[in-house]
Structure 1
């Protein structure tokens, strides 16, 4: 690696985590892991548990020069934090406000992917409390909130009598719900770091559903890195990751979630501009498979704040 942590020691770094979104606990775990990595590397780093109502003052009091954003969900991933940091002339990791907002909004990102010729599953937007006609929603399908990450509120609907239950579950996290065609096949993801794809990761769950429990609680979830795809499928997955990353104007790092259908077709599901950095997170797994340990990954991401801002 060309990045040398010593070059960063002249800067005060703030790791931003926590917040009040539904993903607070995951964000804290990510932020604490990054904070420890920077401490071990010898950087001048502080941990900031973000309070949205007081965030501007928190930043002013901290005296930081750059922010490593480990905030998941709204406020952290919707462009709000990024905009505030730009107004204060503070370097920060990850995508700019517009790209962040577009990626968190599953409806906006799907429209963008479609415009760019990226294959996506069919979908429909419904609203909480809406009188849903099951006749025009095909099953199996996936119900998920328009604006959440970490698979919060996600359900796989296998029969029409379960549609209302799935919509109500997703509605706990927002009034608008995406009903998405379920693509039979394999769950894969591609990390993009500084414009290059990381090794493809395949996720294998006990029941075929990669929801919040499978991500963060189950001991039965398996990860195959690099994924056991054939050469053509592997290349297409990485190409799709790069194309989706570019379509939203992302910078630095992202993680692109996909399905590989039984027919060998790649369907892009969504782009995460602030991927998890916990011990169970996919991006560090992919980085490790490419020869990069966790501290090196974090330092490389931090360098992006200075080179791409």
Structure 2
């Protein structure tokens, strides 16, 4: 009898549209591989019904809040339905940029200097907070603490641009991160079942790899293999796997890093449910490793909680 798979997609986060694209690609692949797969939009379907509707497994293709933050993982564990990706705790921490960085720091991993601000303490900014921000030195990045896909991020070059950028970030989250902007080369490392896949170098004409560079611009270039020498590649993969394991992540995900002008790698963030669209980086890294899209989908499906 065919296994019945619920591919959870859509949802209500700001990354809804990308999630639908990812999920539909996964459904088509699973159908091709002989599974009884269904697109389940969690915005319109109560996942409590998964048990009643006799689903054997959930394939999570939800990005952002409600999919990557441990909440849906908790419901699936309560229902005793196996699911793909990281567990409750790893998901909840990984979506929280500030707490992710605290954990990485405790492992002596290289994190970008930052200032963390909660909305209730932020308006207006007190002199102590302003001093801490100025210590980072411009340019700086203002980002919501719990958003993905570079949504709500602003690059700020002077004090007069600060308050508008803070307002934008607070419109997505009640807490934000202000980070030192490190100019350098961006790389991403895919991790699949505790093994690293070939790294990808991302080059964009934008100031950084923002939402437009990710999903709209045709000038963004991806190099896989990344062009790093063997020593750098080894070093980067070691940092990535340590960062992944520090958060107890599992399944498949990505670690994003930047290489500065002094050849030092800095961790940027982790993605526990990476995109699976035609522009997505995980399928690109898998292809370089000789893994087809359909094989990748099956490998992720088989590493379930």
Query: Could you say which TM-score interval applies, normalised by the shorter chain?
Result: over 0.9
Cα distance, 1:53 vs. partner? Answer: 7.8
- Structure 2 unaligned residues grouped into runs of 5+: none
| Match in the other structure for 1:71 | 62
C-alpha displacement at 1:54, in angstroms? 2.5
Please give the alpha-carbon distance, in whole angstroms, between the structure 1 residues aligned to 2:296 and 2:53.
24
Question: For residue 212 of structure 1, what is the aligned residue in structure 2?
Answer: 211
Q: Which of residues 60, 83, 96 is equivalent to 2:87? A: 96
Match of 1:4 in 2: none
The Cα of 1:52 is off from its aligned counterpart by: 7.4
User: Which deviations, in whole Å up to 9, do the C-alpha atoms of 1:158-184 show, x marking residues without a partner?
Assistant: 222222222122112112110011112
TM-score by length of 1: 0.92
Mapped to 1, the partners of 2:241 and 2:105 lie a distance apart of 15
Deviations 1:5-32 (A, max 9, x none): xxxx642111000100111111101100
Partner Cα separation in structure 2 for residue 53 and residue 157 of structure 1: 40
Given that 2:152 and 2:169 are in contact with CA atoms closer than 8 Å, whether structure 1 keeps it comes out as yes
Partner of 1:250: 249
Tell me the residue number matched to 1:131: 124
For the aligned residues, what is the CA RMSD? 1.4
Q: Which SS does the other structure have where 2:214 is aligned?
A: helix
4+ runs of 1 displaced by more than 6 Å?
A: none
1:6 maps to none
CA distance in 2, matches of 1:53, 1:44: 18
**Compared with structure 1, are the counterparts of its residues 292 and 53 closer, same or farther at alpha carbon in structure 2 (3 Å cutoff)?**
closer
TM superposition shift of 1:135: 4.2
Q: Do the aligned residues in 2 keep the contact of 1:20 with 1:52 (CA within 8 Å)?
A: no
Deviation at 1:114, TM superposition (A): 0.2
Q: Distance in 2 between matches of 1:91 and 1:194?
A: 16
Identify which range, 128-137 or 192-201, moves more after superposition. Answer: 128-137
Matches within 5 A, 1:253-264: 253-264=252-263
After TM superposition, give the deviation of residue 207 of structure 1 in Å.
Answer: 2.1
- Indicate yes or no: 2:29 matched with 1:37: yes
Change (3 A) 1:74 1:52: farther
Q: Is the 8 A contact 1:190 1:238 kept in 2?
A: yes
CA contact (8 A) 1:142 1:181 kept: yes
**Superposition pairs of residues 140-219 of structure 1, within 5 angstroms:** 140-219=139-218
Q: How many residues align?
A: 297
- Rounded to whole Å, the distance in 2 between the matches of 1:76 and 1:139 is 34
Structure 1 77/119 Cα, relative in aligned 2: closer, same or farther at 3 Å? same
- Runs of 5+ unmatched residues, structure 1: 1-8
The change in CA–CA distance for 1:52 and 1:264 in structure 2 (over 3 A counts) is farther
**Cα offset for 1:61?**
4.1
CA shift for structure 1 position 292 = 0.9
